[in-house]
Chain A
Amino acid sequence: MMASSYNAKEEDGHHSGAASHGGPAVAKSKKPDNTAFKQQRLLAWQPILTAGTVLPAFFVIGIFFLPIGIGLFVTSNNIKEFEIDYTGVDLDSPCYSCAKNFSWNSTTPCVCTVDFTLEQPFESNVYMYYGLSNFYQNHRRYVKSRDDSQLYGDLSSLKEPSKECEPYRKRDGLPIAPCGAIANSLFNDTLDLYHIESNGTVNVIPLVNRGIAWWTDKHVKFRNPGGNNNNLTVAFQDTAKPVNWRKPVYELDPTDLENNGFVNEDFIVWMRTAALPTFRKLYRIIHKKSSTTPTLPSGRYVLNITYNYPVLSFDGRKRMILSTISWMGGKNPFLGIAYITVGSICFLLGVVLLIIHHKYDNRNNSADIPS
C-alpha cells in the first residue's frame, strides 16, 4: 500500500517535473528541480561486498600476482652479488689494526687488503658499492645539515652558508665549503680491486667513478661556484674545508676537472642521504669489456682499502659489495616473495569465499517469486 503509493509518486515526480519546466506559470515556484543530481538519483554502480561478488576479484588478483612474483623472484635470483665486510672488528680481520688506530686527523693513511674469491663469474656490468650499517644518515638533524644553494654554486651561500649547517657552518671565521654535517662526514675510504689470475699475475680492475651519481644531481643540483672556472682553488678561496676532511673540496679529484669540487660524484652520492641506517652507496662501476669475457671472472681477488672512515665508534660496519643489476635494480628477492605470498593468500581467501558463497550466499535464487 505504502509501496505502491510511493512509487507512483516518484514516477509522477518525473513527468510533472518535465511538465513544470515547460510551463512558465511555475517558473518562479520554489519547487526544487527534478534533476538526478538534486534528487540524489545519479546513476550509480552499487557494489555489494559479499562472498559471491568479491570472489572473482580474489582469484584474479591471485592469478595476476603469482606469475609476477615468480618472475621477480627468478630475476632477483639471477642477480649475482658479492659482499665482504672489511670493518675489522675481529682480531683476525686484516683491517683490525686500521680500525683500532683511528683518528680523523691522522695524516698517514692506513691501508689494509682483503682477499676474497668469486665462485661465479659476473657477466654484465658490475656495480661496486660500499655499504654502511648502523649509520643513521636519516637522522633528522643530520639530514637538514646542508646548504643546497651552496652546493648549487651560489656564491653568496658559499660565503655565508645557511644556518642549517650549524655547527659545521664556519670554521675560524671562514665559511666551510661544503658546509653541514653530511658533507663533514663524507665517506673517504678508497677501495681498489685487483684480480689475481691463476698464474699469479695481479690485474688492476678498472673502476669507473663517473655515472655513479644521478644525472640530474651531477648536472643540475650540484655546481661549482664561479661557473666553468677551471681554477677551483680560486673559486674556493676564503673557504675552509670541513672539519673531518683531509683535503679541501677542490682536491677531491684533482685529475678530473669535471669530477672535482662540488660535482665530485662520490661527494654527490654521499650527499644523497640514505633512507635507512643500513645502506649501500654506489662506489664504482666496472664496465664489461667485451661480450666474450665476463666482467669479473671467477677467481681470487684482492681488495685494497685505504682505511679512513671510522665506524666502530657507533658500532657501524663497512662493507664492499659487488653486484650486477637487472631491470628491477639490485638483488632483492623480497618483492618476488611478497607477490607470491599475497597472490597465494588471495587465492586461498578466494577458495574460502567460494566455500562461503556456496554454502550461504544463494539468496539470489530465493528472490524470484513464482506468480
Chain B
Amino acid sequence: MARESEEPTKKKKKKKKKSRENKKTRSVLPNTRSKHDDDDAEPNRGCADNKIKTTKYTVLSFLPKNLFEQFHRFANVYFVFIALLNFVPVVNAFQPELALAPVVFILSVTAIKDLWEDFRRHRSDTEINHLDCLVFSRVERGYVEKFWKEVRVGDFVRLRCNEIVPADVLLLSSSDPDRLCHIETATLDGETNLKQRQVVRSFFDLDCDFNPLKYNSVIECEKPNNDLNRFRGYIIHGNGRRDALYKENLLLRGCTVRNTEEAVGIVIYAGHETKAMLNNNGPRYKRSKLERQMNVDVFWCVLILLVMCLFTAVGHGLWMFQYGDKRPVFDVLSPQGTDMSPIMSAIYLFLTMIIVFQVLIPISLFVSIEIVKICQVFFIHQDLDLYDEDTDSHLQCRALNITEDLGQMQYIFSDKTGTLTDNKMVFRRCTVAGVEYSHDANAKRLAMYQEMDSEEEECTSHGGTLPRRDSVSSHHSATAPPVVLRSHSTKSHRRTGSRAEAKRASILSKHTAFSSPMEKDITPDPQLLNKVNECSSQMDLLRFHSQPMSQLPSDLADIIDFFIALTVCNTVVVSSPNQPRHKVRVRFELKSPVKTIEDFIKRFTPSRLTSGSNSSSSSSLVTNRSSNRGCSSVLSSPSADSTLTKLEEEAMMSHSGLDHAFSPAPLCYDGKSWDQEEGELRYEAESPDEAALVYAAKAYKCSLVGRLPDQVTVELPHLGKLNFELLHTLGFDSTRKRMSVVVRHPLTDQITVYTKGADSVIMDLIKPPNTGNSKGKRQKKLVYRTQNYLNQYAADGLRTLCIAKKILTKEEYACWLQRHLEAETAIQGREELLFESALRLENNLQLLGATGIEDRLQDGVPETIASLRQAGLQIWVLTGDKQETAVNIAYACKLLDPEEEILTLNADSQESCALLLEESLHYIQAKFFCSSTEQAAKNFHPANLAPFDIYQPSSLSSSSSSSSHSTPFVVHRLGLVIDGRTLAFALDKSLEDKFLAVARSCRSVLCCRSTPLQKSMVVKLVRNKLKVMTLAIGDGANDVSMIQVADVGVGISGQEGMQAVMASDFALPRFRNLQKLLLVHGHWCYSRLANMILYFFYKNAMFVALIFWYQFYCGFSGSAMIDQWYLIFFNLMFSAFPQLITATLDKDVSAETLQQLPQLYMTGQNSEEYKPYMFWMNMIDAFYQSLVCFFIPYFAYADSNVDLFTWGTPITTIALLTILLHLGVETKTWTWMNWLSILFSVMLFFTVALCYNASCPTCYSPSNPYWTMQRLLQEPVFYLLCIITPVAALLPRYFYRSCQGSLFPSPVQVGRQLDRLPTETRRNILSLSKMKAESPLAHKTHFLSLAKERSSFSCSMTAGTNHSLASQRDEEADRRKPPPTLSDTTVGFYTEAEAPPYTKDPPPESEQQLAPPTAECPDQNASTPLLTHTHSVQLTLPPTGGSRCVKYTRNQEERLDHENVMLHTPQAPLATA
C-alpha cells in the first residue's frame, strides 16, 4: 500500500479532529502505529482496558464501604443507636462493650456474606482476565498470546474457531472466503443460531492475509452503549475514504467464533465498555408482600416496646415517689451522690428500658430471613423437576428475596408465543394462487407425533444422556449473566423407522436449529406436489428451448414463485450435518452484493446478466481458495481450543476441520454427492417460522442449498440448482412486520422482490388489481380467496404469513438503489432512512399465497393452566398475536372453555368502547347478578364465612365487598377477549374501572394485538387497582416491560433470546415448571417464612416479657434477672439454629400433594399463614407463656434465699426450652436436622453457661455468675422446674393445635393428613379427585372441592336419594360463594364438560333446580360455620371405576348448633349406572 507516506499528516489531522469530536464519538487508532508498545504511547488512552472488575470493594475500601451500605438499612442504624445508648452512664443497662456484640455480630455476618460474594466475583474476574487470546505485537511482528486483561482498544486480535471474543472487535479479516465470521451469541441473547458477521467492506477485497502493520485507518464510532443491536460508525482510510460500519461488522465480547478458522479484528470497546458488560446488571432487589406485612408488625413491636418502656418508667417514678424523702438503702444515689427526683429517674429509666427490651425488636430477624431465603433459593435451584433435560437448564432465581411471593400470587399474566406455545413452528397448510392445499397427510403425521409424545413421555424425559457442551469454562457466567447453553449434537438426524429413535433424534436436535423431525419432515400435499413438478418440468422445458418464462401459465408461475419465495426470502443458514455449524460452501462465482451504483451498472449490463445466469459454471476458483485456507488453519485450530474443556466438542471440531480441508466433497457439490446429502442439510434460522417454511419448501423439492451474502442457491426439481443473486435483504422488523429480499431471478433475469410478512400488512400492500383485464380479475379473486383462507387458518389457530412478490424494472431498481445506498451510508438517522427505503420498495406487491404455521403448545400447558386455575389463580393472556389465533390457542390450552360464553370487545373509538364496556357490564349483571346478589346475601352471612371464605381473595373482599356488599365480584363462566385497540381505549383513565369490573368477573381474559406497553399497563392496572399479587411470565423482548412491572416477573429461557430472562426475577425452562414453582416452592417458601417470622415475633416477645414481669418485683428499676450475656446471645446463638433449620426444611404438605391439590395454594394467596390477627395471637401466647415461665419459678422460689441470678438462670433455661418446644409444636416435618439442631441448641446453652459460669470469679459484673449453673444442676428443683414449666406454658397451644387438627382442620392440615396415608391409597384418592369423583376425605370434599360436592349433589337430586334438604342448601350456599369459588367452579366446569353420565342437566338449570329448598331451612343461616364436621365417610368404588358411590354424613356439633345434616350422595342408582 502506497499510502503509508501520507499517514503522519493524516494522523495529525485526525488527532485534532478526534479531540474536537471527543464528546460524541470514539476514535480508535490502531496500537501498531505507536512507536513503542508501552502504555505511554498508546493512542487510545481514554478508553477502558479489557480488564474487568465486577467487585464492589477493594481490600482497603471494604470496611468503610460495606458499613456505609449496611447503615442504609434503618434497622441497623436503630440497633447501633441502642448500643451506643449503653455508653451513656446514667442509662447503661448492660456492659457497653457487650451491648455492641449483637450489632457487631449482625454487621459482621452481613459483611462476611458480602465479602464472600465479592470474593467470588473477584475470582471469576481473575479467571476471565487471564484467559488467553492472540494479540498482534508490533515488536514481534506477529501475534502473541496475551491475557484478556492486557488487550487494549486499538489492538489487533486474532480469533480462532471456538474462541470467545475477548472484547468488542471490529472484524477486519476472516479466513472465510466470503469474508464472513460466524458467531454464536448465546451468552448475550440466548439465541443459539449462528449469526454472520461481515468483514468491514473496505477490507473485503483484500487478497492476501490481513497485515496489521499496513492498517492505517481510523475508526470513528459511537461512545460505548448497551444496545446490543446497534453499532454505528465509519472507518476513515488512509486515503480519506470513508466506509460505514454496522453492527454486522462487530464481534461482541462473550460471543463464540464458530465455523470460521480465523478472524482478525481491531478492538473497539474493551472491558467494562463492551456491550456485554454494559448489559450486565446485577440481581434486582424487591420487597416481598410478606416483608411488607412483617414491617407493619415490626412497627407494632416498636409500639409495644415503647408502651412497655413507658409503663415501666411511670411505674418507676411512682415507686420512687412512694418513698418520698425516706430514701431506702437500696435506692442508690446517683454517682454524684445527689438524690434523683422520681421524674428524672423515670426519664432515665425509659431509656434504660429501651435497651433492656431491645430484644423485642428482632435484630436477627432480618439476617435470618436473608439466610433462609438463600437456602430457599438453593433448594429451588436444585429441584430436579425444574430442570429441563433438553436444554440442560434449570430455574434461575435472579431476585433472591421474593421467593415467598411465589406463594401468594393471585393473577398471572402470560405471554402466548414461546410461553404457552413452544415457539416451534410446524408447517401445516398453505394456499397458493387462491387454491388451498390442506395437507391432510401432514396433519395426520403431526397427530401421530403428538400421540407419540404423550406415549413416550417417560422414556424421553430421561431418555439418553446426550453429549453436551458445557459452558466454556466459567467465563459465561461471569461476563454475562448465566445463559442457557444448548446441546450441540454431532449426529445427523436421519429418521429411522423406530419412533423412539425419531423422538430421541428430535430431542437431540430440538434446540439446535428448530428442526425436530416434526418440523422437518413435512408430508407434501400430493396435489400441490404434482403441480410443482409439472411447473418445474415446464420451466425446464422452457429453459431448454430458451423461451421466456413468462409463457408459463400464471398459476403455475405463482406456485413456483411461491416456493422460491419461501426458500429465498429468509436469513436461514445452511449447514451440513457432518460438519455442524459449518456452512456448506457451494459457490459458483465470487461476487459481492451490489454496493455502489457503478457496481450496479457494471454488473447489470446485459452481457453480465447473461453470463451470470449461466450459473452452473466456474466454481473451481473459490473452492480452491477456501480449501487452501482451511488447510492452513487446520494446524492452528486444535491448539486454539485450549480453553475448551469439552472433549467431544473438540474432537468434533478438529475432525471437521480436517474433513473440511481434505475432502472436497462438501465443498463443491456435484449433482450426485448432493443428492446423497440432500436429506441431511440443516437449516439454522433466526426465527422458527423461517425454518419451518424452508423445510416446507424442501418437502416440495424446492430446497435451499446454500446461502451466501450475495447469492442463494436453490435446487428445484428438473431445473437443478439455481443461483439467485441476492441483491438486498431487508430484514424483518416488528414495525414493518415483514421482510423482503431483492434477488435477480436466474431464469427470467428479472429483479424480483420477494416479500413475506403478516397478512394484515401484506394485504394492504398488494397492488390494487386492475379490474379491467382478466389478469386483474384473477388477482382480485386470488386476493379475496386468500383472505378467506387466511381467516380460516387463523380460526384454526395457525400463524399466517403472506407471500408476495414484485418485479422491478432496472430503472426502478436503480432509482431505489441510489436512495437506499444513501440511506445505508448515512450515520445520523440511518435506521429511519433504511426504514423509509424499505417502505419505498415494498409496495404494489403481487400476492402469491399464504401459509399457515402451527405454533405448538408446550408440553403440559393445559394441565398447568388447569391446576393453576384450581389454585385460585386468575390467568390472563396478553399477546401480540391476532385475535383469532389467540382465541384458538386459548381454547387449545383450555384457557377458554367451549362451554362458556365469550365477550369480545372490539371498539373503534373511546365512546364505543365505553358503550361496549357498559353493555357487557349490564349483560353480566343481567345474567348473573340476580343470582349473585342473592348469593351474596347468603355468603356474607357468618354462616358461610369460615372456613371457606378465607379463600376469598383478600383484595377482592377488601376493595369491593368491604365498600359494598351489593356488588361482590363473582367470577362467572365468561371469557373476555379484547383487542389491542380497544384495550388502548379501555385503559384510559375514565374507563379503566369499568374495564376492570368487566374483566374481573370473567374467568379468562385474553388481550390480543397488545403492544409491550399495553401489556405492562394492564399488569400495572390490575396490580394497583385490585391490590393483588401479580405474576407476569413471558419469553420475549416484548414481555420485558410487563415482567418488570409485575410483582414477580418470570422469564422463559426459551428461544427468543435472553431479554425476558434478564428482566425477570425467576427464569424457567418451560411454562409447565410454573406449576411446581408456584404450587410447591411458592407455597413452601411462603409458609416457611411466614411461620418463621411469626415465630420470631413470638420468641422475642416471650423472652422480653419475662423481664417485663420482673419489673413489678424490682421496683421498675430496669433490673434483669437474666444474665446480660444470656439476654444478648439468646437470640443470636441459643435459639437461632433450630428456627433456621425449620424455616429452611419444614414442609407442611408434601410436594406431591401440593401439586395434586392445587387448592392448597390458596393458603398463600389469602395470607393464611400470617394474618394480622396471628401476630396478636402470637403476642398473647407469648405473654401467656412468659407469665408461666416467670411465675412458676417465682412461686417456686418465693421467700427463699435464692439470689438474683441463681433465680434468673432457671428462667432462662425454661424460656429456652419453652421456645424450642414451641418450635417443635409448630414444626411439621422432623428430619434428623431438626432433632440435631434442637439438641445442639440445648447443649450449646448448657455448655456456654457452664463454661461462662466457671471461667472467671470476678468478671462479668454485675451478675458475676460464678458457679451458678454448676450449683443449679445439683438441685432437683431446677429439673423439676424445667419439666413442668414448658409443659404448662405450651399446654394451651398444643391443645388448641390438636383440637384444630380434629375439629376444623385447615386445608393444609387435610393435605398433611393425606400425606400420611399409604402411598397407594393416597394416589387412589388423589386420582379420584382428579377424576372429579368425591374424595373419601370428607374434609377434603368439604374444604377443597366444592364443585365436586355440587356435582355429586346434583346427581343425588336426580337419583332421588333421600337426604336432608338442609344440606343441599348448605352445599349450595357454599358453592356459590364469591371469588373463592373460582377454582371450584373450574372443577365444576370440567365435570360438566366431560359430561359424566349422570349429570344430564346443563349447569344453569341445575342451579335453579337446586335453589328452591332454601325456604325449607330458615334457621340454616344461624349455624356456626366452624362446626361442620364430617361424621363418617364411606366410599365404595366398584372395580370398574366407571361409577362411584360415595356416602358421607355430615353433622354439626350439637352443642353449638342443632343441625344434623345428612347427605347421602348417590348410592344405588350410580352403582348400576
A positions within 8 Å CB-CB of B: 1-10, 12-13, 16-17, 19-20, 23, 25-26, 28-34, 38-40, 42-55, 57-58, 61, 65, 68, 72, 129, 131, 135-149, 151-152, 154, 162-164, 166-167, 181, 184-185, 214, 216-217, 220-221, 244, 269, 272-282, 313-314, 316, 327-330, 332, 334-335, 338-339, 342, 345-346, 349, 353, 356-357, 360-363, 366-371
Contact = CB atoms under 8 A, between A and B. Distances in A.
Interface stretch (B114-122, B706-714, B1271-1279): B1271-1279
Contacts of B1016: none
Contact of A142 (B332, B394, B1271, B1430): B332
B68 interface: no
Given A38-B379, A40-B1145, A279-B1199, A329 B1277 contact: yes
Interface string B1283-1327: 010011001001101111111010001001101110001011111
A259 to B, nearest CB: 19
Contact of B1198 (A16, A272, A276, A342): A276
B1197 A139 contact: no
A68 B352 CA distance: 42
A54 B1316 contact: no
A278 B1202 CA distance: 11
A129 B1287 contact: no
B1298 A72 contact: no
A332 B334 contact: no
B1437 interface: yes
A370 B1277 contact: no
A275 B1202 contact: yes
B862 to A, nearest CB: 11
Given A6-B1152, A51-B1298, A221-B1258, A39 B1119 contact: no
B1060 interface: no
Given A274-B1203, A276-B1198, A3 B1330 contact: yes
A332 B468 CA distance: 76
Interface in B321-375: 323, 326-337, 352
Contacts of A349: 1291, 1295
Interface stretch (B874-882, B1336-1344, B1355-1363): B1336-1344
B774 interface: no
14 contacts: A2-B1330, A9-B461, A19-B462, A25-B465, A32-B381, A48-B1313, A141-B331, A148-B1258, A272-B1206, A275-B1203, A335-B1280, A335-B1281, A342-B1284, A370-B1437
A342 B1298 contact: no
A275 B1121 contact: yes
Interface of B: 93, 323, 326-337, 352, 379, 381-385, 387, 389, 392-394, 457-458, 461-462, 465-468, 470, 645-646, 863, 867, 1113-1115, 1117-1121, 1145, 1147, 1151-1152, 1155-1156, 1192, 1194-1208, 1225, 1228-1233, 1257-1259, 1261-1262, 1264, 1266-1267, 1271, 1275-1277, 1280-1281, 1284, 1287-1288, 1291, 1294-1295, 1297-1303, 1305, 1309, 1312-1313, 1315-1317, 1321, 1323-1327, 1330-1331, 1336-1339, 1429-1437, 1439, 1448
B1114 A277 contact: yes
A328 B1277 contact: yes
A30 B393 contact: yes
A338 B1303 CA distance: 30
B1257 A135 contact: no
Given A40-B1145, A148-B1258, A367-B1325, 10 more contacts: A9-B385, A38-B382, A138-B1113, A141-B332, A148-B1259, A154-B1258, A166-B335, A167-B336, A279-B1201, A360-B1430
B1251 to A, nearest CB: 15
A19 B462 CA distance: 10
Q: Taking chain B's interface residues, is the majority helix, strand, or loop, or is none over half, making it mixed?
A: mixed
A140 B352 contact: yes
Nearest to B1317: A367
A166 B1152 CA distance: 68
B1144 to A, nearest CB: 9
Give the interface centre of B333, B645, B646, B1309 by most chain A CB atoms within 10 Å: B333
Contact of A49 (B1288, B1294, B1325): B1294
Given A10-B1152, A48-B1316, A152-B1258, A3 B1267 contact: no
Contact of B1327 (A4, A55, A61): A4
Contacts of B1305: 50
B1230 A68 contact: no
B461 A2 contact: no
B87 to A, nearest CB: 13
A3 B1331 CA distance: 10
The 3 closest A-B pairs by CB, nearest first: A314-B328, A275-B1207, A50-B1301
B1114 A140 contact: yes
A3 B1323 contact: yes
Contacts of A28: 468, 470, 645-646
B874 to A, nearest CB: 21
A199 to B, nearest CB: 36
A3 B1156 contact: yes
A280 B1201 contact: yes
Give the interface centre of B458, B1119, B1155, B1298 by most chain A CB atoms within 10 Å: B1298
B323 to A, nearest CB: 6
A222 B329 CA distance: 23
Contacts of A143: 1119, 1204, 1262
B1324 A369 contact: yes
Give the interface centre of A9, A17, A31 by most chain B CB atoms within 10 Å: A31
Nearest to B349: A140
B215 to A, nearest CB: 40
Given A339-B1284, A356-B1303, A363 B1338 contact: yes
A282 B1200 CA distance: 9
Contact of B1280 (A273, A281, A328): A328
Given A131-B1199, A148-B1264, A43 B1204 contact: no
Contact of B1284 (A136, A144, A152, A335): A335
A276 B1156 contact: no
Give the interface centre of A274, A357, A361 by most chain B CB atoms within 10 Å: A274
Contacts of A23: 465
Given A135-B330, A148-B1264, A338 B1258 contact: no
B332 A139 contact: yes
B387 A31 contact: yes
Nearest to B863: A2
Given A32-B384, A53-B1298, A335-B1280, A244 B1201 contact: no
A353 B1299 contact: yes
B1337 A366 contact: yes
Nearest to B322: A315
Contacts of B1261: 144, 146-148, 162, 164
B1301 A49 contact: yes
Contacts of B1120: 140
Nearest to A149: B1258
Nearest to B1235: A45
A32 B329 contact: no
A152 B1257 contact: yes
Contacts of B1295: 54, 58, 349, 353
A157 to B, nearest CB: 9
Contact of A144 (B465, B1152, B1262): B1262
A42 B1231 contact: yes
Contacts of B1117: 136, 138-142
B1302 A46 contact: no
A241 to B, nearest CB: 16
A357 B1302 contact: yes
Contacts of A146: 1261-1262
A70 B752 CA distance: 107
Contacts of A129: 1201
B88 to A, nearest CB: 14
B593 to A, nearest CB: 42
B1201 A363 contact: no
Contacts of A145: 332
